[in-house]
Amino acid sequence: MGAIAEAITVYAQPLLEATDGTLEDLNRAMALSQFCWNIALLRPTSREEALADLRSSTEMEPEEFADFRRSVLLPMLRRHEEMFPALHRCSHEGSAEMAPKERYAGTEPYAPCPCNSGRKYKFCCRGKGR
């Protein structure tokens, strides 16, 4: 198994341990962990919009959804932030202004560098722009 798959499996462990061990239940837990992973990667405002859409598309009562959010979603979001802090460094609003700009945005990493150095962009100006 690759490093990413192992990280996702470790991340999903609390949900996997809560299953009855059947393949259907394990698949459901992995799908739920993937959903939590994707929600965790969103900015807070986008996250709230996605959760509002989810709430409206489910058949859960408001109290049931609030319980799901409190008992499953929020702990998994916290777990994601603890396990992968680098993914959350610029997750706040306004991060676009704070993030360094690439020197030649849109250039493929292994394309020749636009500065005509003869090196690949990834190893030349892309690294300097960060």
Domain ranges of the chain: 3-88, 100-130
pLDDT digits (tens, 9 = 90+) for 2-48: 888 888 889 999 999 999 999 999 999 999 999 999 999 998 888 88
Give the per-residue pLDDT at 79. 93
What mean pLDDT, rounded, does the chain reach?
A: 83
- Give the pLDDT band of residue 93 (cuts 50, 70, 90): very low
Report whether 81 contacts 70 (CB < 8 A). Answer: no
pLDDT digits (tens, 9 = 90+) for 67-79: 999 999 999 999 9
Give the per-residue pLDDT at 102. 65
Give the per-residue pLDDT at 117. 84
Sign of CA dihedral 91, 92, 96, 100: negative
Give the per-residue pLDDT at 33. 93
Average pLDDT over residues 113-118: 84
* Angle in degrees, CA 72, 78, 79, rounded to 5: 85
